[in-house]
Amino acid sequence: MHPFSATLAAATLGLAACGATAQTPIGGPMPNAPTAAGITLDAGLQSWIAAFSRRAEAAGIRRETLVSAFRGVHYDATVIGRDRRQNEFDQPIWDYLDTAVSATRIKTGQTELAERKRLFDALEARYGVEREILAAIWGMETNFGRQRGGAPIIPALATLAFDGRRGDFFEAELLAALKIIDAGEVDAAHLVGSWAGAMGHTQFIPTSYLAYAQDFTGDGKRDIWGDNPADALASTAAYLARAGWVKGQPWGVEVVLPEGFPYAATGKNARRAHADWLAMGVRLPGGGLPPDHGIASVLLPAGARGPAYLIYANFFAIAAYNTADAYVIGTGHLADRMTGGGAFTTGWPRGTRLLNLAERVELQTRLTAAGFDTKGADGKVGPNTTAAISAFQRARGMLADGYPTEDLLKLLR
């Protein structure tokens, strides 16, 4: 953590140490904060900005860019509050999908695909990524450009980097944002987006912008912020192509599993040949055989009581954009629905109460203590925790779907 206890004197000393002068200060004057804590936090940020600016200059950022970008930047407690709530946010996947793949969003996406047919034709031809997945990401990220975010990126990233919870990550993003400004792509006033630093129609973070952003319109600018979505959609196509997108392959298909299915064989990392899944009785909801798109995994995002999906390489290409299973499923399903696909047939276990963060940490702690190592207790249910749950369930003669439930926690208690 960065020193929240920094004083006004320390902030002044920090500015002097990196060579800032009264004529060209980096940062801004102290605001008239209503509390001592507010003054202390902002003083700490100003000191941090001074030290960071020296590192940024060493990395090649021009001093005039730094002075201009940090002018008037202050500690933003609202950003920190939103960042903290992310860890506490527990939304069932079915509630998430109700919004992500709503009838309104499907219809809007179909309209955009029809009205921008020439653009999507050209994008698909150049990058080899289907139009519907590009439109789906656009819809998921900003409701097709209607909610791009107007928060200034530099103050948000500076506050998050100073805060220190994910300091290295946000410092790298802040440096990337300054490189974007320094290169003349956009000025600081127009470098806007979400509170966490995602920008433009498809919400690129600054490092992704530097690596993948495209000038599809040929005007000399990689403009992901303006009203024309062409550059942003091309940038997303380039990103997916680099992530291994396979044209003609679905992200996944809904399947049903037979009675007695070995649930320990499920999970994103448990990949098998198509023939193996057929031999294990995996079928489409209507009883037909799933399509053969090569190596696949069976994913149970809500455990054995919810839908099952046979997922392919394109699932992981979307996951490179956003790792959350709910996001990948929502994006893929929205793309399918916009092109005439039907709703999922298996219902979600909507009466199930999800474990909150504290309960997930407790679950991991108790599993590890019982000899089923989750490799840490951070409340994030990833492959290690899923494997530990599955091993515990098998040891107890339970259905081993690896899904964390309230009943499982009670049993561990």
pLDDT digits (tens, 9 = 90+) for 83-124: 877 544 568 999 999 999 999 999 999 999 999 999 999 999
**Confidence band of 166 (pLDDT split at 50, 70, 90):** confident
- The whole-number average pLDDT for the span 17-28 is 41
Cβ-based neighbours of 102, under 8 Å, separated by 6 or more = none
The model's pTM is 0.87
Q: What is the pLDDT, as a whole number, of residue 2?
A: 36
Q: What is the pLDDT, as a whole number, of residue 26?
A: 61
Give the whole-number percent of the chain exceeding pLDDT 70. Answer: 89
Residue 186 has pLDDT above 50, yes or no: yes
Helix H segments across 183-310? 206-212, 230-242, 274-279
141 flagged as catalytic = yes
**7: exposed, middle or buried (Cβ count in 10 Å: 0-12, 13-18, 19+):** middle
- 113's enclosing H/E stretch is helix 103-115
Given 141, 171, 173, 185, the catalytic residue? 141
Residue 21 has pLDDT above 60, yes or no: no
Q: Average model confidence (pLDDT) for the chain? A: 89
Give the type of residue at 177. Answer: A
Nearest to 25 by CA among 60, 69, 56, 57: 69
Check: CB of residue 196 under 8 Å from CB of residue 83. yes
pLDDT single digits (tens) 114-129? 999 999 999 999 999 9
Q: What is the pLDDT, as a whole number, of residue 82?
A: 85
Q: Copy the structure tokens of residue 310.
A: 């046979």
pLDDT single digits (tens) 221-271? 999 999 999 999 999 999 999 999 999 999 999 999 999 999 989 998 899
